[in-house]
Amino acid sequence: MNETKKICILDTSAILTYIEDEDGSDYVENLLIEAEKGIVDIYVSFISLTEVFYITLREKDEPLAVERIKLMQSLAVKIQESDEMVNIKAGKLKARNSISLADAYIAALCQIHNGILVHKDPEYEKLASEINEYRLPYKLS
C-alpha cells in the first residue's frame, strides 16, 4: 500500500506563531515534529523568509531578524524558491483576488503541492474555495 504523505504549507503567520509562542504554536510545533519524523512534508515559500525578516526588523532588531531566518532554515521544512510555475499561479491568484503578493505566492505553493495551508491570516478567507486550509486561532487586536 502506497500512502501519500500529508503536505502542509506554513504561511508567515504560522511561522511567527511558532517563533513567538502564540496561541496555536503547539499545532505548528507538532507538525514540525512530524516533519522531522518523515510523517509530513512541510513547505515554506521563499517570501516568508523575507516577511519574517522585515517584520522582526520593524518590531525588534536586525540581529534577531537574522537569528529567526537561521532558525527557519534549520527547521524540517522545504524552502520553495520561485520558479515559472509558482510565478504564473501566484500571478493568477493575485489578478483574481484582492490579496497581497506574498499571500498569492504562498497560496500558489499550496495549490502546486495540493497541500494544507496553515495560517492565521483572514486574507486567505477569500481563497477558501481554491485552497485547503487549517486556520490557527486569529489574533484578537
Residue 4: its pLDDT value, please? 84
Please provide the average confidence, as pLDDT, over all residues in the chain: 95
Surface-to-core class of residue 100, CB atoms within 10 Å of its CB (0-12 exposed, 13-18 middle, 19+ buried): middle
- The answer to whether residue 61 scores a pLDDT higher than 80 is yes
Read off the pLDDT of residues 72-86 as tens digits, 9 standing for 90 and up: 999 999 999 999 999
122 by Cβ neighbours in 10 Å (0-12 / 13-18 / 19+) ranks as exposed
Please name the residues in contact with 83: beta carbons below 8 A apart, sequence gap of 6 or more. none
Pure H helices in the chain: 12-19, 25-36, 46-59, 62-74, 84-96, 101-113
CATH of domain 6-135: 3.40.50.1010
pLDDT at residue 136 above 70? yes
